[in-house]
């Protein structure tokens, strides 16, 4: 994979590398969001309607 990406034209190489990083970040964010909410605020966490303003 790395050799193939290295052999691409400059524009494609830069874009594909950024998108590779994006895949890693997006999957980590997708995996971490729900556990983070559950650990930090707990299941059923919600502000009552009309509250907060």
Partner 1 sequence: VTTHLDKLEPAQAEKPLRHYDTYGPAQKRADKYLSSGIILTGTFFAGPIGIYCLVRAYLILRNAQREGQRIRPWAITIVGTIVLIDASINMLGWGVDLSPIHDTKLGLTFDSGWGVMFDGAYYVDFNGHTSMGGSSAITEKALQLIPVLIVMPMRIVACIAFLQMRKVGYQYLIITSWMYVAMWVAYSASITLEFDHRLGNTLYGVTGWWAYNLPFMLLWLVLPYLMTIDKRQFSDEPARSFRPPG
Give the contact letters, 13-42, x = binds to partner 1 (CB under 8 A), - = no: --xx-xxxxxx-xxx-xxxxxx-xxx-xxx
Q: Alpha-carbon distance 16 to 10, whole Å?
A: 10
The minimum distance between CB 19 and partner 1, in angstroms, equals: 5
10 lies in the site for partner 1, by CB under 8 A: no
The minimum distance between CB 24 and partner 1, in angstroms, equals: 9
Q: Alpha-carbon distance 45 to 31, whole Å?
A: 19
6 lies in the site for partner 1, by CB under 8 A: no
Burial class of 21 by CB neighbour count within 10 A (0 to 12, 13 to 18, 19+): exposed
């Amino acid at each position: 994979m790395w050799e193939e990406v290295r052999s691409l034209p400059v524009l494609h190489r830069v874009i594909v590398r950024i998108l590779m990083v994006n895949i890693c970040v997006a999957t980590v964010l997708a995996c971490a969001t729900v556990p983070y909410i559950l650990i930090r605020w707990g299941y059923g966490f919600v502000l009552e309607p009309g509250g907060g303003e």
